[in-house]
Amino acid sequence: MSYELWDRYSISSLLENQPDPRGRLFLSNLGQVNLAPVTILREGVDTIRQLYDGFLKPDVLATIHASYDLGLGPGGRGRLVEVLGREWLLGSGGKSGYRFRLQDSDLGVILFVSSRYVKENVSGSHLKIELSPHFIDERNNKKIQGYMNNLAARLLSDPHPAGCAVHLCVDVQGWVPPRDFADLLITRSRRRVDHRGISDVEFDLSELATVYGSSQSFLFGSAAGLQFSLYRKDLQAEAVDKLHFWQDLWSRRTDENFHPLYDPKKPVWRFEFRYHHRVINEFGDFIQESLKTFDDLVPHLTGLFRYGLENFRLNSVSSSCSRKASFYRGLYIDPMWQLLLQDVAFLAPDSGFFYKRARKRPGLGGFRNVRNVVGNLLSLYARYGIGPVDAVKYLMQSGIWEDIKAMYRAPLKDDIGDVMLVEKITQDIEERLRIRTLLGACV
């Protein structure tokens, strides 16, 4: 591992002076970062592209040809065709590498039929099935794979899976990328796309990255390999008229009282990794396991996501000017990346609602507990070489600042303003931090 991890704490663990592997308070020689405001709204599979080899069935192919040869339908958007007992919108396969596209957006399925690189009467990769987020959301992995296998059996003779591509995504609120995100990201990819402005509400994020004026979308990597995209999902969903679907999905994640964690007033950032089927096949070769179907991939989704985070990694930079912080700058992974690496796990898609109870913030329960937490934090600050000015700043960001002010205000006979109170707290913190350093608390 070519980077260092931050130590993690929670308010309850600080009372016991112990780290918490799931705490949101991150501490290192670079300082402190509090990710308590971050909400993970969803982790899941956004897109599935399943490939099948086989012979095209002549009757199906004849039906498609007969309709396609009639030309485009009204408005130039394709022609309706009855195939497999359903009505599809038939059009050209375009740049997909297939001759025909059968689309049913209401169902959430697109069929790419007849490879341009193989004769139609020869066995080959003649079918690619693409599933949309709402199709995936409504079914578990067994039903998804069974549905695709059934389609393949009705379109092809002797069908067998040839590979699967997936898009893995995590949607979050309460975090924004740094302004120089594209420069800070560590990646082997040479392909970086940055377009400013947007000219069409229908854009394909697998082919470009759009910046809405203030760095709100990034794309790294090639579509034929592993791509990483970070973008404002709420803006993209609104642009393609899918915001209602995503807001409903995000609202399923709730707190301990089953109140939605999603806030419609806050931006939603999406971390998305897109794995081409060739990359997936290389993983299968390495672990000596067949990864030709989506069902094969399900146990490996979390591992694939973490591999993506390792290959497109954001390292930490520090705003501190201290010598110690300067020495460690660039060695630590960004706390948000660490949170995603350690806390996010992918489950198989499932039908029905998924509720996850959020952790309830433990109450401090009195000034004695506040003193213990502050004392343990100051010992940690001394150990990491954090100075008094930064220490006060980090206490303000720790999530217990109001409790700290109340503790300092309680013994005072006269009510003083916040400015004088902060000065008093700063003087006390500076002295206590110096004492801990001299006593060797930083060792």
Q: What is the pLDDT of residues 327-340, one digit of tens each?
A: 555 689 999 999 99
Question: Minimum mean pLDDT among 8-22, 96-110, 121-135, 426-440: which range?
Answer: 426-440
Q: Report, as an integer, the average pLDDT of 392-411.
A: 91
Q: Report, as an integer, the average pLDDT of 238-249.
A: 95
pLDDT of residue 416: 81
pLDDT of residue 323: 54
Q: What is the pLDDT of residues 56-95, one digit of tens each?
A: 999 999 999 998 888 765 555 678 899 888 899 999 999 9
> Do 129 and 103 meet the contact criterion of CB atoms below 8 Å apart?
no
Nearest to 343 by CA among 91, 59, 62, 39: 39
Nearest to 343 by CA among 302, 304, 398, 297: 302
Q: In a 3-state reduction of DSSP, which class is residue 358? A: coil
Q: Kindly state the percentage of the chain with pLDDT values over 90.
A: 67
Which tops the pLDDT comparison, 384 or 191? 384
Q: What is the pLDDT of residues 186-226, one digit of tens each?
A: 886 544 444 333 333 333 444 434 444 455 789 999 888 99
- Global pTM reads 0.85
Amino acid identity for residue 153 in this structure = A
Q: Report, as an integer, the average pLDDT of 290-298.
A: 96
Burial 347-384 (b: 16+ CB within 10 A, else e): ebbeeeeeeeeeeeeeebeeeebbebbbebbbbbbbbb
Confidence band of 142 (pLDDT split at 50, 70, 90): very high
pLDDT of residue 220: 92
Q: In a 3-state reduction of DSSP, which class is residue 98? A: strand
Confidence band of 348 (pLDDT split at 50, 70, 90): low
> Do 40 and 286 meet the contact criterion of CB atoms below 8 Å apart?
no
List 161's β-bridge partners, or say none: 52
Q: 150 exposed, middle or buried (CB, 10 Å; 0-12, 13-18, 19+)? A: exposed
